[in-house]
Structure formats: structure tokens, C-alpha cells
Amino acid sequence: MKKEIRTEKAPLPIGPYSQAVQAGNMLFVAGQIGFDPSTTLLVEGVEAQTRQAMEHINVILKEAGASMDDVALCNIYLVDMADFAKVNEIYSSYLTAPFPARVTVAVSSLPAGALVEIAAIATI
């Protein structure tokens, strides 16, 4: 059985998807981009967007009763792989060892002109 996880502390979905879905003891967090939740505008720069995306994941996890320590896998989508080191530095500041498994891929574009999008799978 699936259960939707939803919080006003992260951007609400703008399409037919959930912020996160719990299925058994697994939590699937939808890709998050760097929207400022107070303005619903994209923050500027890949560093700020990465921080904001990670903050969104963090509050969604908390809403589900989980934490960043429960993340098992992250998928990171970058418009420019030249930003990899910057994103990696910020991303790693939110996590502790053992770090989640991860996929990082370059894409031609992301919603709203975002530079980075991050999705996560956690256990709860």
C-alpha cells in the first residue's frame, strides 16, 4: 500500500506526482529543484539551488519520520557537469558515512531552468 507524504515546507507538486511516496518501509522522494518556498521562485546559482534542493529533501524526510541518515540512494541531475565539484561539496555536507549510493548524470535541461535536481530513496 502506498501513502503520500506532503509538507507545506517544500514546494508543492506542479503536476501529477507526489513530493514523496511511502511504500512499506521505503520512501521515494521526488526530484527537488531549488525553488525558494517563500517566493516559489528559483534561487540563483548552482550552489544555492543545491542547498535548497537538499533542504526540501530534508523537510520531506522529516515529514515522513525519517532523516538524511536514512537515505540509501540519491539521483542527481546536472545541466553542466562542470558544476559537479560544487554540487558534491554541498551535497556531502548534508550526509554522513556511510554515504548513500548515488547516480549523477548530465541532462540537457531541467524544469523551470533549474541547474540541478536531486531525488532520494530512503528507508523508514
pLDDT digits (tens, 9 = 90+) for 58-98: 999 999 999 999 999 999 999 999 999 999 999 999 999 99
Task: pLDDT band for 38, please (50, 70, 90 cuts).
Answer: confident
Please tell me the CATH code under which domain 2-123 is placed.
Answer: 3.30.1330.40
Report the phi/psi class of residue 118: left, alpha or beta, with left for phi > 0 and alpha for psi in -120 to 50.
beta
User: How much is the pLDDT for 40?
Assistant: 84
Q: Is the pLDDT of residue 37 over 90?
A: no
User: Whole-prediction pTM value?
Assistant: 0.97
Please state, in angstroms and rounded to a whole number, the distance separating the CA atoms of residues 70 and 79: 27
Comparing 80 with 15, the larger pLDDT belongs to 80
- Give per-residue burial for 19-39: e unless 16+ CB within 10 Å, then b: bbbbeeeebbbbbbbbbeeee
- Per-residue DSSP letter, 15: S
User: How much is the pLDDT for 14?
Assistant: 83
Task: pLDDT band for 9, please (50, 70, 90 cuts).
Answer: very high
